[in-house]
C-alpha cells in the first residue's frame, strides 16, 4: 500500500487555498483542487439529486477517474437510483462507490425500517453520517455541492473549509446562485433528475421528501413539518451540523454548562 504523504496543518492549508483561488471560477476551483498538493487525496460526494449533475459533469471533464461516493440509504427514490446509473454511464465516471450502512447496524438500530418515523436525526446518522465517515477515512478532502444561498447554516461557506483536524471540504459552487446552476445545466444540456419536473427541487430519501408548492423554499419539502434542515453529514470545526431545534437547544445548554 502506498504511504500517504504527511501534509501541513489543515487550517494553514485551507487559508492558503482560499487565498490562492479566491477569484477563480467554479470549474477552475474544481480543477485546481484535484491537482493541488495542499488538498491531498480528494473524493467527490454526490447524492445524484436535483443539482448534483453540475459537479458530476465538471469532474467528468477534468478527471473522470475521481472517486465519487454515493450514499444509498436504502430509502431513496427508485428514480434517484436509475438517475445515478444513467449519469455515471453518460459521463464516463469510472470510480463510483456506492456507500451503505452495515447490515449489522441496520439490524440493530432499525430492524423494521421505521426509525425515520420517530427520530429522523438518528436515521440520518445511521444511514448517512456513519457510512460516509467510514468511506471518507482514506481521504484528506471531499468535494461538496454546498452553496451560500441554501440557508443560514451555509451563508458563510467558502471554497475551502476546515472540517476536522485531518480533513477539509471543497465547495466549488459556494458563490453560485440558482440562476448559475440553471444556466450551466441548460448550456451543457445535462440530464435532469426526473423528479424535478414533478415538483421536487431538493431530493433526499423518499419517506422524508415531498413536492414543493410554487413560492415555497426549494428545501421546504425536506423533512416537512419539522425544524430539521440538514441530514448531518456536514461538519464545522469537527462537529456535525445540528439538524433540529432540539439538537440546537442541547448545544446551547452545553455551552452554558
Q: pTM above 0.85? A: no
Residue 140 belongs to some domain of the structure: yes
Count up the domains in the chain and report the number.
1
Residue range(s) defining the domain that contains residue 49: 10-256
Q: Spot the catalytic one: 124, 205, 208, 231.
A: 231
pLDDT at 36: 92
Residue 38 belongs to a domain:
yes
**pLDDT digit string (tens) for 29-50?**
999 999 999 999 999 999 999 9
In a domain, 3, yes or no: no
Helix, strand or coil, per DSSP, at residue 96: strand
Question: What is the CATH number for 243?
Answer: 3.40.50.620
Give the tens place of pLDDT for each residue, 108-158: 999 999 999 999 899 999 999 999 999 999 899 999 988 877 666 666 789
Q: Is 231 a catalytic residue?
A: yes
Strand-by-strand arrangement of the 96-99 sheet: 96-99, 68-71, 42-45, 141-143, 168-170, 160-162
- Is residue 70 assigned to a domain? yes
Amino acid at each position: 500500500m502506498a504511504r500517504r504523504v504527511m501534509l501541513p496543518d489543515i487550517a494553514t492549508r485551507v487559508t492558503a487555498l482560499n487565498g490562492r483561488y479566491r477569484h477563480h471560477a467554479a470549474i477552475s476551483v474544481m480543477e485546481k483542487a484535484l491537482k493541488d498538493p495542499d488538498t491531498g487525496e480528494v473524493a467527490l460526494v454526490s447524492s445524484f439529486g436535483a443539482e448534483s449533475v453540475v459537479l458530476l459533469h465538471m469532474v467528468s471533464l477534468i478527471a473522470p477517474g475521481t472517486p465519487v461516493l454515493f450514499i444509498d440509504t436504502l430509502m431513496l427514490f427508485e428514480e434517484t437510483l436509475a438517475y445515478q446509473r444513467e449519469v455515471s454511464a453518460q459521463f464516463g465516471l469510472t470510480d463510483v462507490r456506492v456507500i451503505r450502512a452495515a447490515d449489522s447496524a441496520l439490524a440493530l438500530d432499525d430492524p423494521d425500517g421505521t426509525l425515520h418515523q420517530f427520530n429522523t436525526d438518528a436515521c440520518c446518522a445511521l444511514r448517512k453520517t456513519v457510512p460516509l465517515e467510514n468511506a471518507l477515512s482514506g481521504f484528506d478532502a471531499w468535494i461538496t455541492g454546498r452553496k451560500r444561498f441554501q440557508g443560514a447554516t451555509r451563508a458563510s461557506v467558502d471554497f475551502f473549509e476546515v472540517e476536522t483536524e485531518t480533513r477539509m471540504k471543497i465547495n466549488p459552487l459556494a458563490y453560485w446562485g440558482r440562476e448559475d446552476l440553471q444556466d450551466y445545466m441548460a448550456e451543457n444540456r445535462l440530464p435532469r433528475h426526473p423528479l424535478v419536473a414533478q415538483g421536487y427541487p431538493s431530493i433526499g430519501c423518499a419517506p422524508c421528501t415531498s413536492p414543493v408548492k410554487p413560492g415555497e423554499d426549494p428545501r421546504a419539502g425536506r423533512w416537512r413539518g419539522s425544524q430539521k434542515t440538514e441530514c448531518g453529514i456536514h461538519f464545522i470545526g469537527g462537529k456535525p451540523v445540528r439538524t433540529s431545534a432540539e439538537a440546537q437547544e442541547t448545544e446551547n445548554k452545553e455551552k452554558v454548562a
